[in-house]
Structure 1
Amino acid sequence: MRTVVITGGTDGLGKGLALHYLRHGARVIAVGSTPAKGAALRAEAAAESAADRATFLQADLTSVAATRELVARIQSASPTVDQLVLCAQRYRLFGPRSVTPEGFEHAFALGYLSRYVLSHGLRTALEGAPRPVILNVGTPGVPLGRLHWDDLQLERRYGGFKATLQAFRANDLLGAAYPSRYPNTPVRYVGYHPGVVSTGMPHHLPPPWRALTRATFAVLATSVPKAVAPMTHLLDEPPADAFSAYQRKRRLAVTGRAFDEAAAARLHEVTRELIGAG
């Protein structure tokens, strides 16, 4: 029985993927921050006669220490992980800069550092699977945002959009760096842009933007079940290349500044120093 680990697995795309794999006989470990949502997922799993294969793990992914503890809990629950899906995201596009207790800017901590720790921390568990794959859900191929190398925590000039886009660009480099870190690994790393998907994201926006986003979703957004289909194809039939990127079904060229190998190696080393990685 394969094991699928999904962060953000109790909401939106993550929940859609969790239910899909539960219906198809997999064991799913869904990571989230809200016990009530975890209980709701387990109730839906029970309705599908899959309660015994659904595990909810509560974790604060804004914390590096908590994410490391999560890695240990996952390894304890399942020594082998077939598929790791990184979906957890909470947009803070407006308002003042927010810092975690460990001193990291919120979007950088949740949107990038947690994915770094999970990607590297679960590598051994993934390598025990026959066709291991990491699917990092973000916005590869979007030419917006950049790494602020001299101010990664955006202490001097903060903006919610700037912070969110920086985290996305950091994830592009995270995927690009992975093969060079582990040249003989069987793990396939995929950066994935799902497009506009009808999720609960507007709930986290202030009223004027919430209404506008909902109206946009009503016209342009893909439903979660439709958005899940191309994702499951990549997870079940991962590309041969060690690293690849997709925008829905369209494969992207992993070249240029967004996936620059030197920048990817630099960010990897900077991140190791930031979090004290061994």
Structure 2
Amino acid sequence: MQTVVITGGTDGLGRGLALHYLRQGARVLAVGSTPAKGEALLAQAATIAAADRAVFLKADLTSVSAARDLVARIESTCASVDKLVLCAQRYRLFGARAVTREGFEHSFALAYLSRYVLSHGLRKALEATQQPVIMNVGTPGVPLGRIHWDDLQLTRRYSGFKSTLQSFRANDLLGVAFAALHADTPIRYVGYHPGVVSTGMPAHLPQPLRACTKAAFTVLATSVPKAVTPMVRLLDEPPAERFTAHRATRRLPLKGQAFDQDAALRLHGLTHDLINAV
């Protein structure tokens, strides 16, 4: 039986993937921060005869310590992990800069640091399987945003858009660095951009932008079941290369600063030092 770990697994694309793999007979560990959503997922799993294979793990992924605890919890109950899907994200496009209890800027912590900890922390569990894959869901290939090397925590001139885009660019480099650092690993690391998908993301936006975004989603967005299909294809039949990037069904060239290996290794070193100071 395969074991699939999905962060953000109780909502949106993560939930869609969780239900897909439960229907396929896998054991699914869905990580989320809201117990009510976790309970709803478990209730739906019961309706498809998968109650014994569905697990909800409550975790605050804005915390490095909590992400490390999550790694330990997974390793204590699973001899191996076949697939790790990193979907957890909460957009903070507006409002003042928020800091986690460990002192990290919120988006940097949730959307990047948690993925760094889980990717490297679960490597041994993934390497214990025959065809392990990590899928990091973000926006590879989008030429927006950059790494603010002199101010990773955006203490100066903060904006929600700047922090969100930096977290996406950091995740591109995370995949590049993972492949470079683990040259002999059987793990295939996939950076994935799902396009515009009809999820609950607009609920976090202020009015009137919330209403406008919902209206645009009605016209432009792909449904979750349709968006899950190409993701499943990559997860079940990952490319041969250690790191690849994709937008829906299109494979992206690994060119430019977004996928620069020197930058990736630089960010890896900075991140390693940051989290080990916690």
On whether the aligned pair clears a TM of 0.5, the verdict is: yes
Q: Please, what TM-score do these two structures have when normalized by structure 1?
A: 0.99
Alignment partner of 1:90 is 2:90: yes
Percent of aligned pairs sharing the same letter: 73
Alignment partner of 1:73 is 2:73: yes
The CA RMSD over aligned residues, in Å, is 0.9
Where do 5+ consecutive residues of structure 2 fail to align?
none
Tell me: CA distance 1:115–1:44, structure 2 relative to 1, closer, same or farther (3 Å). same
Please state whether the residue corresponding to 2:154 is helix, strand or coil.
Answer: coil
Alignment partner of 1:133 is 2:133: yes
* Superposition deviation, residue 207 in structure 1: 1.1
Cross-structure match for 1:230: 230
Where do 5+ consecutive residues of structure 1 fail to align?
none
* Superposition deviation, residue 107 in structure 1: 0.3
- 1:101-116 matches, within 5 Å, as 101-116=101-116
* Superposition deviation, residue 255 in structure 1: 1.8
State the distance in 2 between where 1:77 and 1:43 align. Answer: 22
Please state whether the residue corresponding to 1:57 is helix, strand or coil.
Answer: strand
State the distance in 1 between where 2:248 and 2:179 align. Answer: 22
Please state whether the residue corresponding to 1:207 is helix, strand or coil.
Answer: coil
Cross-structure match for 2:261: 261
Cross-structure match for 2:155: 155
Aligned residue type for 1:176: V
Aligned pair count?
278
* Superposition deviation, residue 77 in structure 1: 1.5
State the distance in 2 between where 1:148 and 1:63 align. Answer: 21
- What does the per-residue CA deviation read over 1:94-124, in whole Å, with 9 as the maximum and x for residues that have no partner? 0000000000000000000000000000000
State the distance in 2 between where 1:116 and 1:178 align. Answer: 9
Cross-structure match for 1:213: 213
Cross-structure match for 1:43: 43
- What does the per-residue CA deviation read over 1:115-150, in whole Å, with 9 as the maximum and x for residues that have no partner? 000000000000001100000000000000000000
Cross-structure match for 1:6: 6
State the distance in 2 between where 1:180 and 1:260 align. Answer: 11
Cross-structure match for 1:202: 202
Cross-structure match for 1:183: 183
Aligned residue type for 1:46: A
State the distance in 2 between where 1:72 and 1:79 align. Answer: 12
- What does the per-residue CA deviation read over 1:140-183, in whole Å, with 9 as the maximum and x for residues that have no partner? 00000000000000001100000000000000000011111111
State the distance in 2 between where 1:195 and 1:165 align. Answer: 15
State the distance in 2 between where 1:197 and 1:70 align. Answer: 28
Cross-structure match for 1:34: 34
Alignment partner of 1:273 is 2:262: no
Please state whether the residue corresponding to 2:208 is helix, strand or coil.
Answer: helix
State the distance in 2 between where 1:161 and 1:257 align. Answer: 19
- What does the per-residue CA deviation read over 1:30-87, in whole Å, with 9 as the maximum and x for residues that have no partner? 0000111100000000000000000000000000000000000011121200000000
Please state whether the residue corresponding to 1:189 is helix, strand or coil.
Answer: strand
State the distance in 2 between where 1:212 and 1:5 align. Answer: 33
* Superposition deviation, residue 277 in structure 1: 7.6
* Superposition deviation, residue 3 in structure 1: 0.2
- What does the per-residue CA deviation read over 1:193-225, in whole Å, with 9 as the maximum and x for residues that have no partner? 000000000000001110111011011000000
Cross-structure match for 1:174: 174
Q: Please, what TM-score do these two structures have when normalized by structure 2?
A: 0.99
Cross-structure match for 2:144: 144
Cross-structure match for 1:55: 55
State the distance in 2 between where 1:55 and 1:254 align. Answer: 36
